[in-house]
Amino acid sequence: MQKKIRLLLLQEIIWIVIALVISSWVVLPLYLKLNYVFIIENFLLVFYAIMLVRLVLFFRNVPWLKPTWVRFVLFIINLNLFIFITRKEQNFISIYDSFAIDDLGKPKMSLSLGQIEKLYHYFYLEINLTVVACLVLIFLFCGRLIHSYWSLTKTRLYVDVK
């Protein structure tokens, strides 16, 4: 039993480290050239997207998803996050439309117009992919939560009838 708990803990730590590394790697190009204003939001969105990939793909293997109350709380939180992330996306799009580098942050070095344009395109591509991934994965995760609840209820009804 002790060995199983250690393995589950190690698995959680490995997934968190993987998500941290990928999130850092994605945000790094903007951070190196700018005092990036949205570094925390962007980092957390990428981190959450990676963790949602895990929750959707390995739903049955995540031990802390077993209790029904945890699933319910996560369902409610994800519904609210869906709305919050959608609003953040609107904010990011308005910043992209303004095309002012100061909206993203002060440059750490002097940048040419071509470099600024590349940064903006990277920001646009990265933030849109991350937000769309988060929204789709939230939708899929909520679907998995509903399916698991429905399956459990259906099983209980079937057992009660016999």
* Statement: residue 103 has pLDDT above 80: no
Task: Tell me the pLDDT tens digit for each residue of 40-61.
Answer: 999 999 999 999 999 999 888 8
DSSP 109: S
The per-residue pLDDT for 5 is 84
Q: At 107, phi and psi to the nearest 5?
A: -65, 140
Q: What is the DSSP string of 34-81?
A: B--TTHHHHHHHHHHHHHHHHHHHTGGG-GGG-SHHHHHHHHHHHHHH
Domain ranges of the chain: 2-161
pLDDT digits (tens, 9 = 90+) for 136-158: 999 999 999 998 887 766 565 55
Q: Angle formed by the axes of helices 113-161 and 39-57, to 10°?
A: 30
Q: Decide: 32 and 105 in contact? Cβ < 8 Å.
A: no
pTM of the full structure? 0.84
